[in-house]
Structure 1
Amino acid sequence: MESMKLNAQNLSKFEGKVAVPTYDRSLVKTGIVHVGIGGFHRAHEALYTDQLLHQKGNEAWGICGVALLDFDQKIYNTLKDQDGLYTLIVKELDGSLTKRIIGSIVEYLFAPENPAVVIEKMASLDTKIVTLTITEGGYNYNEATKQFDFSNPLVQHDLAYPLKPKTIFGYLTQALKLRKERGQKGIALQSCDNVQGNGHMLQNMLMSFVEKAAPSLLEWIQKEVSFPNSMVDRITPATSQIDIINLKEDSGIDDQWPVVCEPFKQWVIEDHFVAGRPAWEKVGAQFVSDVVPYEKMKLSLLNAGHSVLGILGALKGYATIDEVVGDDGINNFLKFYMDHEVTPILGDLEGVDLEKYKESLLQRFGNIYIKDQIDRICSETSAKLPIFVLPTVNAQLNENGPVQFAAFVIAAWAIYSLGVDENGKSLIIKDALADVLNKKAIEAKSDPKQFLSIESVFGDLKKSETFVAAYSKSYHDILKYGIEKCVVDLNDKMLNKI
């Protein structure tokens, strides 16, 4: 099929082939500034917003996408070249594809190119909400100290050169300062990241930074700015070149960076927006008074489950998550972990069928059409495990409960951090702490406990004799017998207990 470049000029030509925006994008104002315009945002918030823009009266809620880091120049250039348009490809469980062109991102900025423009945009009267997908590591939180990490060189830069910031905290501080100076009202700052209490985390980290950078702003923020917590959920693997080629050949759309995702999506949000908000509930979002039970369930089961499958699967040499789900030993290992270590610490989840939710997770992980790359799942594990797995470990230790499966996963991660799988193939470790992890992984070969000494990740976990014993045994067993035999043995022991 002959293809056409995706842009505003050609948009009408795709009608009939895929769903396209039918609203007048030229009338849409940017009431939302979103920082971090990667795949997840474009499969999630931007989709919800696009659906809402199809209903009259919502023209004030378009999105201005901000590419924050130098690394993000490619996505910025792509959106600029395509007038903010992109194709969302939903890979259904039966293998069919549901495609639609999304038009809710009507403005796009590259922060490193002109920080002042981004600050001005956040301070604009039209802007009512700033939303964020900056990854778990973007909050600059030190697990050991439980505090904002002022030793970060980028933070030091922002304190020294406040008008040329590099971190989200520097940008937000300057934008809020402008709003205050101009006598404007405050805004809502909403995290859409996989962080428990993500609104509280954003608030605490920002206030820590502001206390040093602009202390006179603290009281105004406390009065004028809200930080709603939210729980977000949609598996969004990296787009492959094959996805781009197939879209061009099957639908005639020349899209430099489409987004692929699973059919499932969920967004649970605390209704705390001081300057107004879009009626996202009209298109499937759920507004609640307390999001904590939902996010705890999701982070401890879905996100932790992804990490379990990723780490164990990587060591065995698998490439994608669905392949790992097809491994009966690891599949059963994950079920036991969820049932016996996670479920007991979740408490009452009113209106949630937990057994059905866990069953659905395995179906979603096993979607053979998603092909979620293990490299992606294992990236930045040092920021993920303190959020996804360690709260479960600490809760169980406080109750003298079981931690064997979690300890096994962390032992496997220590071995993974050596950078070689069980077949002798090199692993690509994408992590801000890659050098530290590798150094401690090497030291762990003679003393496994050394890996647990990374306090920014594990805090004081190495002081728990119960955990260290389970972890050390797992470490030695994995090295001696390999992942496959070890998970089968653990599963058998659990079956004998039941």
Structure 2
Amino acid sequence: MTETTPLSLATLGAISATATVPAYERSQLTPGIVHFGVGNFHRAHQAVYLDDLFNLGRDHDWAIIGAGVTSYDAAMRDKLKTQDYLTTVVEQDVGRSAARVTGAMIDVLDPMDRKALVEKLADPTIRIVSMTITEGGYFINPATGLFDPSHPAIAADAATPDDAKTVFGLILAGLKARRAAGTIPFTVMSCDNIPGNGHVTQNAVTGLARLSDPEFADWIEATVAFPNGMVDRITPATGAREIEIAAKDYAIADQWPVFCEEFKQWVLEDHFPAGRPALEEVGVQFVEDVAPFEHMKIRILNGGHAAIAYPGELLDIHFVHEAMEDETIRAFLAKLERTEIVTCVPAVPGVVLDDYIALIERRFANPKIGDTIARLAQDGSNRQPKFILPSTADRLSRNEDVQGLALVSALWCRYFQGTSDSGRAITFNDANAERLKAAALKAKENPLEFLALDDIFGQVAQSEIFRKRFTQALTALTETGTRATLEAYLAGKLGD
């Protein structure tokens, strides 16, 4: 058995034999950021960029204090606290793997102590409040793409703003305290994969404020900055496999290590009135308009993930790289990206889109990552309306065919019928799983039953072209199976 060293500030000297450790004194860091959602992506992305910056000897007054509102956040805090909020990040490329320990996070607040959290948000040293709360955490109506003020959690915070339970309610409480004290507002920065994530976050914060204090909402709109940003790094979930690799390969006992690809990207609008760290020194790209970069990443990468997730599940494939080794799935992804998705992506400064697609294909095929098909398939009720259906809507608006995109939606429906092509039971991870499964089972008799999910498909479901293509694809999946349907699509023989 490999002898391991428990991760902590006291053991960094021993750990430096197998991993890169911070070149700065952690005790010299002071906080400048509160971040909601200290899960794997945040610790592989924003925290890594800041760790890089601190290693340059720069901006040590921008350390992260973690925060959250869920039981998951509480469990993460308990584990990270035992290791002084340090994280082992294992970066993996096809021919290289390396571990580093990051120390940019210096504390995580107790999710149950809302008073302490609001006090920290009101602290003048906090100049950015950021978040990684997943696509489903923004209370967006999937069909309209707009903030949903009727959501029960939002209604509850609106009724009792002094006892907020949501991230946005707590942000409002912090802003209210700063306004009362005459303290400059912090910048609110989303780090989630949502088109116009800054605008979406502003709509959520001001939308909630408007329900109880319209004048306060107006003040927020006039004074608080919400920069848009695009984030990218493939980061799978942590399980026993990752904990064992950290122990076996690097002799580090980390309760929640993070594994990720070597590639990372962050594009931000430079709109930080209260100041910001010099992230451009460590590779963050500051631009006037993030939208082209967002469209490229969300539609090509995230849309590509959605495209391979459901055929992968239906064909009993476990890892993403294994799906890319399947010639049929890889060819399906290539055709879909190049004939339908890329046509909905505007020109991106300095980027050749065909080269970007090739890069995405290489990243998906990286066998070191260990990303799972099941992870990509989860939370489709939030991801389909953001990653697939916007491309569908764009093509329909131009009277263009959507055979491949409709096939992705049909594969999602077939997935929610509950079994793979071999009969294996599928485990769902979606807040709307029960409703989706009921609609998918009805679609066995009438495919249009699934499109009746108006809050997901919206106007797309009213298109005769989409209804026809969806029906053809789902019928083929039912009658001939997943592989034969993909092959028919590739041969140009799916439908008429």
Instruction: Classify the TM-score, shorter chain.
Output: over 0.9
Bigger CA drift: 234-243 or 401-410? 234-243
> Which residue in the other structure is 2:150 paired with?
151
Q: 1:458 to 1:355 in 2, by over 3 A?
A: same
- C-alpha separation between the residues in 2 aligned to 1:443 and 1:206? 38
1:101 matched to 2:101: yes
CA contact (8 A) 2:402 2:469 kept: yes
CA contact (8 A) 2:142 2:382 kept: no
CA offsets, 1:420-443, max 9 Å, x none? 111111111100111110111121
Q: State the shift of 1:294 in Å.
A: 0.5
Q: State the shift of 1:494 in Å.
A: 8.1
CA contact (8 A) 1:144 1:457 kept: yes
1:410 matched to 2:409: yes
Q: 1:413 to 1:309 in 2, by over 3 A?
A: same
Q: State the shift of 1:17 in Å.
A: 2.1
> Which residue in the other structure is 1:110 paired with?
110
**RMSD between aligned alpha carbons?**
1.5
Matches within 5 A, 1:342-421: 342-421=341-420
Q: Secondary structure at the match of 2:491?
A: helix
Matches within 5 A, 1:113-262: 113-262=112-261
Structure 1 segments (4+ residues) deviating >4 Å: none
> Which residue in the other structure is 2:336 paired with?
337
- C-alpha separation between the residues in 2 aligned to 1:147 and 1:251? 46
Bigger CA drift: 98-107 or 449-458? 449-458
Q: State the shift of 1:18 in Å.
A: 1.1
Q: Which amino acid aligns with 1:15?
A: S
- C-alpha separation between the residues in 1 aligned to 2:77 and 2:346? 42
CA contact (8 A) 1:244 1:255 kept: yes
Bigger CA drift: 235-244 or 45-54? 235-244
Give the gaps of 5 or more residues in structure 1.
none
Q: Which amino acid aligns with 2:259?
A: V
> Which residue in the other structure is 2:82 paired with?
81
Q: Which amino acid aligns with 2:106?
A: V
- C-alpha separation between the residues in 2 aligned to 1:434 and 1:120? 38
Q: Secondary structure at the match of 1:260?
A: strand
- C-alpha separation between the residues in 2 aligned to 1:48 and 1:234? 12
- C-alpha separation between the residues in 2 aligned to 1:60 and 1:448? 56
- C-alpha separation between the residues in 1 aligned to 2:401 and 2:263? 31
Q: Secondary structure at the match of 2:65?
A: strand
> Which residue in the other structure is 1:59 paired with?
60
CA contact (8 A) 2:49 2:282 kept: yes
With normalisation by structure 2, the TM-score equals 0.97
Q: Secondary structure at the match of 1:163?
A: helix
Q: State the shift of 1:463 in Å.
A: 0.9
CA offsets, 1:13-57, max 9 Å, x none? 222321101211112111011101000000000000011111224
- C-alpha separation between the residues in 2 aligned to 1:235 and 1:159? 36
Q: State the shift of 1:145 in Å.
A: 4.2
- C-alpha separation between the residues in 1 aligned to 2:493 and 2:32? 53
Q: 1:344 to 1:249 in 2, by over 3 A?
A: closer
CA contact (8 A) 2:67 2:73 kept: no
Q: State the shift of 1:180 in Å.
A: 0.7
CA offsets, 1:237-265, max 9 Å, x none? 11231221222233221111100001110
Q: 1:200 to 1:83 in 2, by over 3 A?
A: same
CA offsets, 1:213-270, max 9 Å, x none? 3322123212321010000000001123122122223322111110000111000001
Count of matched residue positions in the alignment of Structure 1 and Structure 2 = 494
With normalisation by structure 1, the TM-score equals 0.97
> Which residue in the other structure is 1:29 paired with?
30
Q: Secondary structure at the match of 2:418?
A: coil
CA contact (8 A) 1:340 1:402 kept: no
Q: Which amino acid aligns with 2:483?
A: E
- C-alpha separation between the residues in 2 aligned to 1:464 and 1:290? 32
Q: Secondary structure at the match of 1:389?
A: helix
Q: Secondary structure at the match of 2:407?
A: helix
Q: State the shift of 1:301 in Å.
A: 0.3
Q: Which amino acid aligns with 1:4?
A: T
- C-alpha separation between the residues in 2 aligned to 1:250 and 1:347? 43
> Which residue in the other structure is 1:40 paired with?
41
Q: State the shift of 1:474 in Å.
A: 0.4
Q: Secondary structure at the match of 1:269?
A: strand
Identity of aligned residues (%): 37
Give the gaps of 5 or more residues in structure 2.
none
CA contact (8 A) 1:116 1:163 kept: no
Q: Which amino acid aligns with 1:288?
A: V
- C-alpha separation between the residues in 1 aligned to 2:103 and 2:259? 16
CA contact (8 A) 2:207 2:217 kept: no
1:278 matched to 2:274: no
Matches within 5 A, 1:6-25: 6-25=7-26
Q: Which amino acid aligns with 2:102?
A: I
CA contact (8 A) 2:68 2:167 kept: no
Q: State the shift of 1:160 in Å.
A: 2.7
- C-alpha separation between the residues in 1 aligned to 2:54 and 2:163? 34
Q: State the shift of 1:347 in Å.
A: 2.5
- C-alpha separation between the residues in 1 aligned to 2:316 and 2:482? 11
